[in-house]
Amino acid sequence: MNTSLSKNSTVPKSKPAKFSIAKILLILGLLLGAVYAGFPILWMVASSFKSNTEIFAYPPRLITESFSFNAYSVVLTNPEKVRFFINSYLVSILVTLFTLIVGTLAGYSFSRYAFALKKPLNMIIIGVQAVPPITLLIPYFSLIITLKLYNTYAALVLTYMVFTLSYAIIMMTGYFNTLPKELDEAVMIDGGSRLMALWRVLIPISLPGIVGTGIYTFMLAWNEFLFALTLTKTIDMRTVPVGIQMLMGQHSYEWNEMMAMSVLGCLPVLVLYLFFQRYFMAGMTAGSVKG
């Protein structure tokens, strides 16, 4: 199926040699790349198991004698820090849920109906992706205060949805477009409504697309920093990214705790990535690869 060549794949004329020079160079290159990509992350994880005094030990060591889960237990027993995680999970799950519901309905409409204003509406949805968050932040600040939503979950869920929703609509429209219209028509001939066709037939078939969109939406929400920084105020409303920033601002750097918190902070997205690689990558490529 996948039969393309690349720069480094020489086509051996005879039987493929087990250890050709090309292969050795290739593996060296791949290992070098893996160090570049992976070492910082390895270092982060290793540092989270060190004591704070050993973080900058000379010479540096990956694993030290004081290897312990101490930093994790400090983070996980601190109610203030646990709250950051609860907030992040809550906001991200709500954003994902609402985005999928609203986005699926909109995607269905774009895929199945021809209507006035379809083109300009579509342009606006694509255009929103290119609007700088910082541009929206200033009006949001006064808008959210006027709506009395400052320092609430609703402020974060609503503002995050502007970006996640436009993404989800583009994804879901594309996905529905690949499904034949005869599918929903069959349901309607049997006496079902359009909504029933959507619920009973299209949504189950589109589950891979929905999962992919959901994962990417969750990731966007989980990673958001600028709005969370500005639209919340009290420490009990802060999310993980803002929480990490607050740890940095303090005078004594508890590097091991910060690293433990970072490891915990990337865990949900990492788990989603490892278990749903195919969907995760589909979400990444959606914007750039056609078809």
Which residue's structure tokens are 């992350």? Answer: 41
Tokens encoding 90: 């809550």
Closest distance between another protein and the C-beta of residue 72, in Å? Answer: 15
Q: Which stretch binds another protein (CB under 8 A): 37-45, 76-84, 178-186, 208-216?
A: 37-45
C-alpha dihedral (139, 140, 145, 146), degrees to nearest 10: 60
Q: Report the site for another protein in 194-213 (rule: CB under 8 A).
A: 194-195
Q: How far is the CB of 261 from another protein (least distance, A)?
A: 9
Answer for which of 34, 86, 183, 235 binds another protein (CB under 8 A) is: 34
Number of neighbours of residue 143 by Cβ within 10 angstroms: 16
Cα(123)–Cα(66) distance, rounded to whole angstroms? 57
222 close to 269: Cβ distance less than 8 angstroms: yes
Number of residues that bind another protein (CB under 8 A): 105
Taking the C-alpha atoms of residue 222 and residue 239, their distance in angstroms, rounded to an integer, is 8
Instruction: Give least dist CB 69 to another protein, A.
Output: 19
For another protein, the binding residues in 245-264 under the rule CB under 8 A are 245, 248, 255, 258-259, 262
Question: 161, 217 in Cβ contact below 8 A?
Answer: no
Interface residue with another protein, options 71, 95, 100, 125 (CB under 8 A): 125
Interacting stretch for another protein, rule CB under 8 A, among 74-82, 117-125, 177-185, 203-211? 117-125
Distance between CA atoms of residues 108 and 206, nearest Å: 11
Among 175, 206, 241, 279, binds another protein (CB under 8 A): 241
From residue 188, give the alpha-carbon distance in Å to each of 45, 179, 181, 199, 200. 55, 16, 11, 12, 11
Query: Which 74-113 positions form the footprint of another protein (CB under 8 A)?
Result: 102-103, 105-106, 108-109, 112-113
Stretch that binds another protein, among 6-14, 65-73, 176-184, 200-208 (CB under 8 A): 6-14
Q: How far is the CB of 9 from another protein (least distance, A)?
A: 4
Distances, alpha carbon 184 to alpha carbons 50, 169, 200, 202, 203, in Å = 58, 19, 9, 7, 11
Tokens encoding 129: 């992706």
Site for another protein in 7-26 (CB under 8 A): 7-11, 16, 20, 22-23, 26
Residue from 133, 150, 154, 205 in contact with another protein (CB under 8 A): 133
Closer to another protein by CB, 63 or 134: give it.
134
